Amino acid sequence: MSLPFHISIVFLIFLIFRLILTVHSDNTTLHVQPGSSSFKIVLFADLHFGEDTWTDWGPRQDVNSIKVMSTVLDQEHPDFVVYLGDIVTANNIPIKNASLYWDQAISPTRDRGIPWSSVFGNHDDMYFEWPMEWFSSTGIPPLHCRVNVSRPPESEGVCSFKGTTRSELMMNELEMNKLSYSKFGPKDLWPSISNYVLKLSSANNPESVIAYMYFLDSGGGSYPEVISSAQAEWFNRTSQEINPNSRVPEIIFWHIPSQAYKEVAPRSDAHGNCIGSLFMEEVAAQEAEMGMMQLLEGRSSVKAVFVGHNHGLDWCCPYKKLWLCYARHSGYGGYGNWPRGARILEITQQPFSLKSWIRMQDGHVHSEVLLNS
């Protein structure tokens, strides 16, 4: 007996979706290009696509952010890109599927055929925040649900004020993009999403691992700003399994700085051993420390942690046996009028080294630092 047509279609869609996730779940290894001894990564932080979507001003900021990313990518020619959270400002997006803006944010990287990965920030799945001016005499703007001012009315999104969940955002990224190395992560770490590890291998010997890169969800938005004890335990188990003797260097990425960043933050004009150009605000750290930093401090293989979140900070500071680093505010969305740019990482093998610098939108390079412990 054959299945009804509509059930067959649903089953087929389910199988296709499972296949997509299976392909991406096996996509965990990056390789240094043949003939090269280094691997370059660009970090784009705090793009904040989708701000004030009901105005002409908001979409213009997204266009400016695309220009920043395009300039950096064309000048640096990276092997990989990391989207370090707050890719969209979901609390400003009154349509059901915020992935439309997420897709715009990753388009400069995807269009150049560069692989990437992403982690979540505190704004990526926030509920919509109603603007006070909508309750003034002018009222709610009639086109507040449009996706892009450059698109025709028939492309408008469906109105919704509940936000798009982390799971939906990740699902849409993986479903539509073969170049994405992002992952859902273990189900038992829910509600956090985007907890996973990638390995970087040599071009000549794929079994030779140059570095492990860990990506974690630091919370915020729909739940507290914290890396939980469960996430710390996952990191501990995983690192002990794949790198038991700490022989392979490890690099860590998440969005909201840990409380350890407050300890090393430069005071006033005394920057000490910190390297950077932006020291314009205090550290806005996670709400609590639940064991993650203690684990990192105890592993000699951990070289550096990279975060975003604070738009007015771009420094790297030594902390015990590792480095704590900020990226650089890349997007025209979000607070602050400081010049935009991106942090660049260059991993070199034999011997291992981790070098970093800031590339600005105007092409200027500054704050070069060697992050070897």
pLDDT in tens, 118-147: 999 999 998 888 777 777 766 666 544 544
Q: In whole angstroms, give the CA distance from residue 246 to residue 240.
A: 8
Looking at residue 127, its pLDDT comes to 82
pLDDT at 139: 65
Q: Where are the domains of the chain?
A: 28-131+157-370
What's the topology of domain 28-131+157-370? Purple Acid Phosphatase; chain A, domain 2 (3.60.21)
Look at residue 143 in the predicted model and tell me its pLDDT. 47
pLDDT at residue 140 in the model = 62
Q: How many Cα atoms within 13 Å fall on the side-chain side of residue 340? A: 24
Cβ proximity of 238 and 199 under 8 Å: no
- Residue 1: the pLDDT is 47
Cβ-contact 224, 290 below 8 angstroms: no
Rounded CA gap, 46 and 25, in Å? 26
Q: What pLDDT sits at residue 11?
A: 45
pLDDT of residue 180: 97
Residues in the chain, pLDDT under 50: 1, 3, 5-7, 10-25, 143-144, 146-156
